[in-house]
A and B are shown apart, each in its own frame.
Chain A
Amino acid sequence: MTLDLNETRDAPSGGDTARQLFSRLSEALFASVDTREVLQRMAEISVPALGDWCAIDAVRDDGTFARLAVAHPDPELVAIGHELWTRYPPSPDEPGGLHHVVRTGESQLVAHVPDEALVAGAHDPWHLESLRRLGLAGASFLMIPIRGHAEVFGALTLVRAGGGRAYDPSDLPVAEEFGRIAAVVIENGRLFEQAAEARARAEQSERSVRELVDHLPNLAWTAPADGAIDFYNRRWYDYTGTTFEEMQGWGWKAVHDPTLVDEVTARWTASIASGEPFEMEFPLRGADGNFRWFLTRIVPQRDAGGRIVRWFGTNVDIDDIRAARALATEMSEQSRLTAARFLELREELREARARIAALEAENERLRAP
């Protein structure tokens, strides 16, 4: 398999040069975001240029192995290999093999596997027969660790079937380069999965927040940093009798008191620019056409860098409170006026009684003989 990266003519076997091989590999890397698809394509590209068999296996948290990819020109042999893998998975007790490579992080080269070794290691006649059918008697192995930044993910296995040219140390560089590329694929795949999981968690979190907001008894809504509202809770629509299409962005102006909407807009715009919370009392028109007063509070949500990512607003119905407050003021004033009038009337009554008494006294005097 000695492939010189600077070789420009075909290798003696008639297959790809190393440069062609890595060119095809590059295309495979960008053909899909699915890790297994890319690794399978890598395995297929390496056959037969790098060997008759190529397998890529990853170690799980429990120490067992998952076969991520396997390639061989004969699908029937691939099926037999899969059956072997399922029935007789790699054992940590084996002197070499996957466990050893992952544990040590070192490549393993086996120049020749004698048939006697297969006989000694086979579990049953079917096992032995299958190993021979796969061409492993007299085969040569290369097992390369797939190493990430902090750990060994698994191993890349290349097999040249019995009868072919055996691997030697000069074959290691290209095979190890394949192993490094496989590590990048796996690592990127994990990062992609983590990002997808984080995105899913964030979306779930947002759904939870929206569901909570939707059930608040107050009117509530949220907006991105630019203040164009993109979510109203159910209570908002119940009260205003509007639809999202009517209210989205800055459509809320339509349910505001025309005499105050400009002031509300100016103060909200100022909050968006300054990042300061907003608080104001103003009326909103209900579905019945009547206005009720609301206390509106809007607060920003910031990211770790302090940038506003969202605004959260609530409108609390204070119409009855305002009416009660006004009524109390009116009644207080009326009580004062009533008390003052009572005093006036009492004085008038006293004066009237005094005049009556004086008239009676005069009447008595006139009657006296």
Chain B
Amino acid sequence: MTDAPTPMPDETEFHVVAREKMTRVLGTGLGLRLLSEILARQENDLATADDLHRFATELARRPAFEGAVGGMLQVTALMRGASPGRS
């Protein structure tokens, strides 16, 4: 149920990171669906670390495992250079 960690066509490195963590913890079905929903709502293409941080912040507001994954992705985004003031 989890995908192999290889980039899909037109995937940025930040999209790969988000997809991997979402599907490993939440499962392929829920993980991919939630990823698409939030990115579509934010009009977010995960091109930069700040984009990843913006995505992760919304995810972190959700309960249980979804929120925990959001928290992890926030840290990942910061480690890759995101500046919270700009995201």
A334 and B68 contact, CB distance less than 8 A = no
A327 and B75 contact, CB distance less than 8 A = no
A327 and B1 contact, CB distance less than 8 A = no
Q: Identify which of residues 10-33 in chain B touch chain A, using a CB-to-CB cut-off of 8 Å.
A: 21, 24-27, 29-30
* B48 contacts A by Cβ under 8 Å: no
Q: Identify which of residues 28-80 in chain B touch chain A, using a CB-to-CB cut-off of 8 Å.
A: 29-30, 65, 68-69, 72, 75-76, 79
- Chain B residues contacting A329 (CB-CB under 8 Å) are 24
Per the bound structure, the CA–CA distance linking A361 and B8 in Å amounts to: 53
* A338 contacts B by Cβ under 8 Å: yes
A330 and B24 contact, CB distance less than 8 A = yes
Given contacts A291-B29, A341-B79, contact A330 B1 (CB under 8 A): no
| Residue of A283, A327, A337 touching B25 (CB-CB under 8 A) | A327
| Residue of A291, A331, A337 touching B1 (CB-CB under 8 A) | A291
A346 to B: closest C-beta gap in Å:
14
Majority secondary structure of chain A interface residues (helix, strand, loop or mixed): helix
Count residues on chain B whose CB falls below 8 Å from chain A CBs: 15
Per the bound structure, the CA–CA distance linking A257 and B24 in Å amounts to: 17
A341 to B: closest C-beta gap in Å:
5
B79 and A323 contact, CB distance less than 8 A = no
Q: Identify which of residues 318-367 in chain A touch chain B, using a CB-to-CB cut-off of 8 Å.
A: 319-320, 323-324, 326-327, 329-331, 334, 337-338, 341
A326 to B: closest C-beta gap in Å:
4
A337 and B79 contact, CB distance less than 8 A = yes
- Chain B residues contacting A320 (CB-CB under 8 Å) are 65
Per the bound structure, the CA–CA distance linking A290 and B68 in Å amounts to: 20
B72 and A291 contact, CB distance less than 8 A = no
- Chain B residues contacting A337 (CB-CB under 8 Å) are 79
B79 and A338 contact, CB distance less than 8 A = yes
B26 and A257 contact, CB distance less than 8 A = no
- Chain A residues contacting B30 (CB-CB under 8 Å) are 290
- Chain B residues contacting A334 (CB-CB under 8 Å) are 72, 75-76
| Residue of B25, B27, B29, B79 touching A330 (CB-CB under 8 A) | B25
| Residue of A291, A319, A324, A330 touching B21 (CB-CB under 8 A) | A330
The residue of chain B having its C-beta at the shortest distance from the C-beta of A320 within the complex is B65
- Chain B residues contacting A283 (CB-CB under 8 Å) are 1, 27
Given contacts A257-B1, A283-B1, A330-B21, contact A323 B26 (CB under 8 A): yes
Per the bound structure, the CA–CA distance linking A330 and B27 in Å amounts to: 14
B4 to A: closest C-beta gap in Å:
13
- Proximity bits, A83-108, B CB within 8 Å = 1, else 0: 00000000000000000000000000
B83 to A: closest C-beta gap in Å:
15
| Residue of A291, A319, A327 touching B68 (CB-CB under 8 A) | A327
Q: Which 5 A-B pairs have the closest CB atoms?
A: A326-B25, A323-B65, A327-B25, A326-B24, A291-B29
Residues of A at under 8 Å CB distance from B? 257, 259, 283, 290-291, 293, 319-320, 323-324, 326-327, 329-331, 334, 337-338, 341
- What would be 17 A-B contacts, judged by CB atoms less than 8 Å apart? A257-B1, A259-B1, A283-B27, A290-B29, A291-B27, A293-B1, A319-B27, A320-B65, A323-B26, A323-B27, A324-B65, A326-B24, A326-B25, A327-B68, A330-B72, A331-B68, A338-B79
